[in-house]
Amino acid sequence: MSDVSTLSPTAEAVATQVESLTYAKAINAALARALEQWPEALLYGEDLAKPGGVFGVTRGLQERFGAARVFDTPISETAMLGAAVGAAMTGARPIVEIMWMDFTLVATDQIVNQAANVRYVSAGRLSAPLVIRTQQGALPGSCAQHSQNLEAWFAHVPGLRVGLPATPQDAHDMLLSAVACDDPVMVIEHRGLYHGEAADVALEGPIAPVGGARVRRPGSDVTLLSWGAMANRVQEAASVLAAEGIEAEVIDARWVAPMDWQTVLDSVRRTRRLLVIHEANLTGGVGAEVAAVVQERLFGELAAPVRRLATPDLRMPAAPHLQDAAIPDVTGIVAAARELVKR
Amino acid sequence: MNQAASPPLAATPAGDLEALAAMYRIRMLEEKITELRKQQIIQGSVHLCIGQEAIYTGSCQALRAGDQVFSTYRGHGWAHALGVPLAGILAELMGRSTGVCQGRGGSAYFSAPDWGFYGENSIVGAGAPIACGAALRNKLSRNGAVALTAFGDGAMNQGAIHEAMNFAAYQDLPVLFICENNTYAELTPYRETVRQPDLYRRAEAYGIPGVRIDGNDLAAVRDCVADFAAQARAGKGPALIEMTTHRLVGHYYGDMQSYRPKGELTAARAAEPIGRWRRQLLERGVAEAELQRVEQEARDAVEAAATEALDAPFTPVDTLQEHLYV
C-alpha cells in the first residue's frame, strides 16, 4: 500500500498557523477547512447542523457554509450512509456523522455491502470518497449499546480505511486525510477526548495521505502499541515504567487499516517485546491481527510471545466501577509490560 | 475522479419502433443468457427479467443523458435500455475482460456508469438510499438530472426503502422510486406478507405522489416517468410509481416455480408487453414486414454480441488485486 507512511515531525513544521484547541475544536477546524477547500464536500448527520451536534463538535458550521451543504437528517442511518454512497459515486465528498459507533450497526449494509464494494466491483470506474465520522468507547454510565469498540469489524473489511485519533492534532489531521482520500474512510473519535485539555494544533499544513503510525515515546525495552484514547493511557503507563527503569517505546497506530506495519515491525525488531493494548474486547480484536503478523515476521527475534491486553469478552455494564474493572487501566498496562520485560 | 463524470451516452432512442426493438433485444438477451447458463458458460445466480421489458424501455425513453439509474439484481434490462451494449453485458456474465466490470460484478451486481447505469444491487432495497445520494448531488450541483431507483414489491418491506422515501421527501430530491410489482417477492406472493397490497398508497405517508400503472403498457410507463421526471427536475421532489407486471420466468435460473398456481403463467403470457406493443403498432398501420425486420435485427444483434463476448479473453488473473483502493 503506497500511501502508508510514518509521520515525521518535519511534515507538521510546514504549517503556518498554530492554535490551542481541544479535540472537539480541532475537528471543527478540520471540517471547516474541508468544506472550504472542497466545494463538493457535504456535512450531515443527526442533530449536527442547527444544534451543532450532541457533543457540540459541529457548532457554527451550518451558519458558515449554509443549510444546503450542512444539514440535519432524520434518524435514518441507512438513508444517511446510502445517500453518502450515491453522492460520492456521482462526484460529491460527503462527511457523515454517525452519532455513536453502535449505530453503524443498523446501517452496516451501506458500509460493508455498498461503500466498500464500489471501486473494486466496478473495476475502478466508480469510487466512493466518503467519510464516516463517529465516536466510540465506554465512559462511566454508558450502556452496552453506547460503549462498543468496533474498529476490528470494519478494519476486517477490504475496501475500507479506519483511523482512531488520540490527540487534537491527529483529530484534525486524520479527518482531513480522510476527506482527501478517494475511498470510504471511517474516522472513529472518542467522546471522552472531545472537551479535554487544549493543545497546540498546527493548522493549514499539508494534508497527509491516510495511514502512518506515530512513535509517541522512544524506548528500547518493550514496544507498547495502541490507538485511540487508549494511546493516551498507554503513554501515562510508559511514564510509570520509566520511573522503574523500563524504557517503553510507545506507538500510536493512528490507523488500524491500513496498519503501518513498517513502524511496528521496526520497533519490535529493536525491543524484541510487544504489548498491544486496546479497549475493544480481546477475541478477534485488532491486537490479534498484530500478534499474528508480528509473530509471522519476527518469530525468531522475539524475546517473548506477543502479549495482548484488552477488555475481556464481555457485554459492557453501565456501572462505572464495573467498567473500570473491565477496561485496561494504567496499573494493568504497567503490570503487563513489567512481566513481559522480565521474560 | 469518477469516469462517470463524463456525460453518459443516450438511453434507448425515442420512437415507438425503437421501443419495440429495445424490448426484443432485452427479451432475446435474457433468452441467450438462459442458453449460456444451461451450457455453464455463465455460472452462478442469474435473475431474468422476461416479461418486464416495458418498464425498462418505457422508463429509459423518458430519461435524459445524465440521469442515473439504480436497479435491482434483475437489472440486465435496465442496463441495456440505458444503452449498455449487449456484448458488454454478456461478457460481464462470462467473466471476460470486455465485460462492463471485467467480470467483477457478474449477473447480479454490475454497473456501467458511462451509460448512467449506477448499478444493480444484490441487497434487496439497498439501491434506494444510494439513489437519494445521487439525487442530492443533482440537486446541489443544479445539473437538472434525475435519479431513478427500481426495486420489487418485496423490497417495499425493507427498512431501507422507508428511510429512502422519507429522506427524499424531506429534501425534495429529484428521485423516482419505481416499484416493479411482478406479484412475487422472490418465491412468495407479495400479497401474503402485507395487509395492504396497494403499495403505491404508502407514498401518501411520506407526503409524495404515488400512482399505480400498468407496467406492461409501454406508452403508459413512458408517459408516467416523463411526467414525474419533469416534476422532479422542476424541484417538486420524488414520486413513487408502482408498475404492475409479471415475471414470466423463475426468480432465478433453476427456480422450479412450484409455488405458481395452475394457469397463472398462461394468463400472464397473454398480457406480456412485447406482443402487446407489437399488436398496437400493427393496428396503427406499421407494416408487418417492418415489425419482422425489427425482430430479426434484434436477434442478429444478440447473436453478434454473444459471439463477440465468447471471443473475448477471460479477465487476467493478475488483475485480481487491482482497484481495491485508489
Residue A294 — pLDDT band, cuts 50, 70, 90?
A: very high
Q: What is the pLDDT of residue B12?
A: 78
pLDDT tens for each residue of A96-119:
999 999 999 999 999 999 999 999
In-domain check, residue B322 = no
HSE of A98, CA atoms in CB hemisphere, 13 A? 31
User: Could you tell me if residue B323 is inside a domain?
Assistant: no
Residue A14 — very low, low, confident or very high, per pLDDT cuts 50/70/90? low
Which residue has cell 476490528? A152
Residues of B in contact with A156 (CB under 8 A): none
Cα dist. B171→A74, B70, B133, B137, B208 in Å?
A: 10, 19, 11, 12, 12
Indicate where chain A has its CATH 3.40.50.970 domain(s). Answer: 15-203
Q: What is the pTM of this model?
A: 0.95
Contact A90 B118 (CB under 8 A): yes
pLDDT tens string B90-104: 999 999 999 999 999
A3: pLDDT confidence band, cut at 50, 70 and 90? very low
Q: Please tell me which of the candidates A86, A121, A182 has its beta carbon nearest to residue B326.
A: A182
Domain that holds residue B60: 3-310
Give the minimum alpha-carbon distance from B42 to chain A in angstroms, rounded to a whole number: 18
Amino acid found at A313: D
Q: Is residue B49 part of a domain?
A: yes
Best A3, A78, A183 residue to mutate vs chain B (most B CBs within 10 Å): A78
- Give the orientation angle of helix A168-180 with respect to helix A23-37, to 10 degrees: 20
- Are A88 and A129 contacting, i.e. CB atoms less than 8 angstroms apart? yes
Q: What value does the mean pLDDT take over residues A300-323?
A: 97
Active site residue A156: no
Considering Cα of B178, then B180, then B183, then B187, what sign does the dihedral take?
negative
| Residue A75's pLDDT band (cuts 50, 70, 90) | very high
pLDDT above 70: percentage of residues in chain A? 96
Which residues in chain A have Cβ-Cβ distances shorter than 8 Å to B104? 120-123
Q: Is B159 exposed, middle or buried (0-12, 13-18, 19+ CB in 10 A)?
A: middle
Could you tell me where the DSSP H helices lie in B172-217? 202-206
Residues near A329 by beta carbon (within 8 Å), at least 6 away in sequence: A233
Q: Which three cell numbers stand for residue A252?
A: 500510536
Domain count, chain B: 1
The pair phi, psi for residue A23, each rounded to 5°, is -55, -45
- Say which residues have a Cβ less than 8 Å from residue B31's Cβ, sequence separation at least 6: B50, B302
Q: Per CATH, which fold does A214-342 belong to?
A: Rossmann fold (3.40.50)
Contact (CB<8Å) B129/A90? no
State the span(s) of chain A assigned CATH 3.40.50.920.
Answer: 214-342
CATH of the domain at B59: 3.40.50.970
Average pLDDT, chain A: 95
> Which of A146, A172, A190, A278 is flagged as catalytic?
A146
Pick from B192, B187, B154: nearest CA to B259: B187
C-beta atoms of A79 and B160 within 8 A: yes
> What's the complex ipTM?
0.95
How far apart CA A89 and CA B78 sit, in angstroms, is: 19
| Chain A residues near residue B130 by CB distance under 8 angstroms | 82-83, 85-86, 89, 110, 114
Residue B320 covered by a domain: no
Q: Indicate yes or no: CB of A110 within 8 angstroms of CB of B322.
A: no
Q: Quick check: is B195 in a domain?
A: yes
Domain A15-203 fold: Rossmann fold (3.40.50)
Q: Give the three cell numbers for residue B48.
A: 431474468
Beta-carbon contacts of A85 under 8 Å, excluding residues fewer than 6 positions away, are: A110, A114, A115, A118, A128, A130, B129, B130, B133
| pLDDT surpassing 70 at residue A13 | no
Of B130, B140, B322, the CB nearest to A86: B130
Instruction: List, as ranges, residues 281-320 from B with C-beta within 8 Å of A.
Output: 319
Please report residues of B whose CB lies closer than 8 A to that of A114: 121, 123, 126, 130
Positions in chain B whose pLDDT score sits under 70: 1-10
